Structure 1
């Protein structure tokens, strides 16, 4: 699923969302200047290693700003650019920042649980995708009928689509579940953190629903 844009203009400037995107880009630029051994040390220092979480709890936050390659960061930042501004507009700037980090933390904890149960708890978790999955969950709750323009990969083709957000994000979420189950026997090898996506989405959707019912700061 490759989103390009949505028909859902924001009423305010989403400066928190933009700041997160720019921070991720700056960190990635720093990463690519590092020699291989220094880069690996950086990943293990600031990425989230489930087995070392209690020794380095700050990595629940720092891992969200680290990415493994140009496709990794471009894909994540594209999703955040398309969907994040509207969620920030709906929640407000401060609540959006708290929401983003809570979604990322929830995603990391779920992926860590899977790593301890069937995977390898010494493989570092990096990337903003868990927090961004939370943004998708909130977007689906707040704006289910907003039209999303993008592409759906089909073998070697990209099929253009114009779907309501509930359909676009719903297909994305089903894809995460199917892949999470499919690759569960190989979780010890690392790879895509499917359960971080699932956990982040569930946390984000739940927070959006809860905060929609009551005013939280």
Structure 2
């Protein structure tokens, strides 16, 4: 649909968004270390080892997991640091880079890390419920970034965002239009699409989590729905 390039949204509380930068660096390092982008078999092995697999959390499987592999619960976070290719990685990191710094500014460094992980977990939870019993692993940071997008819209809907529309046309568009349309498309596709290559419900779950958390986790001095100056 579009790729975010830049926003006109200054930071007010933090000098450097080092958690956002650290998350991007970690995603890239893991991608390079695993070699997932160049080896389909290796990606499959990694996805089944560290991705979120809904069928692992059915009642019968949970009994086995509780007895033998409690670390399975970490999959609710680890899946979000795995990507299926360069474009998958770059797309998610672009959203994290452009919008993550403002959420980090609004909630603080440590709480932003918690916010990010909770959005990833919320995305995985709704994906699991919508795909109950599926043996296909969920990977990618798009659920976590969907939470950031929802929070961004609740904080600064009027801010202009430079986007690359259809991968070709640079345009400055208020966040409420481009990000709002993106979120509506995720909901629409989750309700209508039969395609199983995109985790639409994970996007919806991440967005809902972000929308719930941002009023709770933001600094008291940061208002919701700020008007552009």
Deviation at 1:86, TM superposition (A): 0.8
Partners of 2:123 and 2:20 in 1: how far apart?
18
CA displacement, residues 153-200 of structure 1 (integer Å, 9 cap, x when unaligned):
2xxx744322211222101111112222231x34xxx30101111110
Task: Tell me the CA shift for residue 122 of structure 1.
Answer: 0.6
Residues 13-54 of structure 1: CA distance to partner in whole angstroms, max 9, x if unpaired?
110111100000011112227754343221100111111144
Other-structure match for 1:58: 74
Equivalent position of 1:136 in the other structure: 149
Matched residue SS, 1:67: coil
- The aligned residue for residue 175 of structure 1 is 185
Say yes or no: does 1:115 pair with 2:131: yes
Structure 1 residue aligned with 2:51: 47
Structure 1 segment 61-100 matched on structure 2, within 5 A: 61-100=77-116
TM-score (norm: length of structure 1): 0.87
| Structure 1 gap ranges (5+) | none
RMSD: 2.0
Distance in 1, matches of 2:191 and 2:152, equals 25
Aligned residues: 205
Please give the alpha-carbon distance, in whole angstroms, between the structure 1 residues aligned to 2:203 and 2:85: 18
Q: Distance in 1 between matches of 2:151 and 2:51?
A: 25
Question: 2: CA distance between counterparts of 1:59 and 1:113?
Answer: 15
Is residue 23 of structure 2 the alignment partner of residue 20 of structure 1? yes
Q: Which runs of 5+ in 2 are unaligned?
A: 66-71, 222-229
Per the alignment, do residues 107 and 67 of structure 1 end up closer, same or farther by CA in structure 2, a change over 3 Å counting? same
1:37 aligns to what?
Answer: 41
Cα contact 2:106–2:219 (8 A) shared by 1: no
User: Cα–Cα, structure 1 residues 171 and 36, in superposed 2: closer, same or farther, change >3 Å?
Assistant: closer
Distance 1:13 1:214, change over 3 A: closer
SS of the residue corresponding to residue 145 of structure 1 reads coil
1:48-87 per-residue CA deviation (whole Å, 9 max, x = no partner) reads 1111144311101110100000110000000000000111
User: Distance in 1 between the 2:86 and 2:217 partners?
Assistant: 34
- Return the alpha-carbon distance in structure 1 between the equivalents of residues 75 and 162 of structure 2: 34
